Structure 1
Amino acid sequence: MREEPTLRIPLGILALLVALGIYGIVLATILPPVIGDWPTWAQTVVYLVLGVIWLLPLRRFLIWMETGRWSPPEE
């Protein structure tokens, strides 16, 4: 455990919020004209997949926020 506070966590949270905001705005701007004529079930699948994709890099990002390294600590 850390004994000293670090700015990585609040800065990491702010960076995550900014990145997710940009991701959401980009998707909301680009996707509707492209998939707007698709059946509802197909649009749902696209939005579900894109709604989960942002979680893929989250593990390493959270590890960095906690430890300052991009890979998990070796035990």
Structure 2
Amino acid sequence: MPRGTVNASWRKPVGMLAILALILVWVVIVASFSAWIAALPGVVQLLLYVVLGVVWIAPLKPMLRWMETGVWRD
């Protein structure tokens, strides 16, 4: 293969669709608990939404690694 050519991979589009699906599922899960969360004090709501807003990022590292290398783990 000549230098500078790019070999397209099917993993990137599939990975992007999986990431979008992950975000959609996470939003639906969190939104389904919104009535329960609304009953909590404001500070607890803030902390809970911050934690829930960060937790969905955890599965992204292996997903991005798979998209680039085809391997889930190091």
Answer whether TM exceeds 0.5 for this pair. yes
Alignment of 1:1-75 (within 5 A): 3-29=6-32, 31-72=33-74
Give, in whole Å, the separation in 1 of the partners of 2:20 and 2:47. Answer: 24
Please, what TM-score do these two structures have when normalized by structure 2?
0.84
Q: CA RMSD in A?
A: 1.6
What is the CA distance between 1:35 and its match in structure 2?
1.9
Aligned sequence identity (%): 36
- Per-residue CA deviation, residues 3-38 of structure 1 (Å, 9 max, x unaligned), is 521110011001110111111012111x22222111
Q: Secondary structure at the match of 2:39?
A: coil
Select the structure with the greater relative contact order (CA < 8 A; seq sep ≥ 6). Answer: 2
**Structure 2 runs not aligned, ≥5 long:** 1-5
**CA distance in 2 between partners of 1:62 and 1:32 (Å):** 30
Q: Which runs of 5+ in 1 are unaligned?
A: none
Give 1 or 2 for the bigger CA radius of gyration. Answer: 2
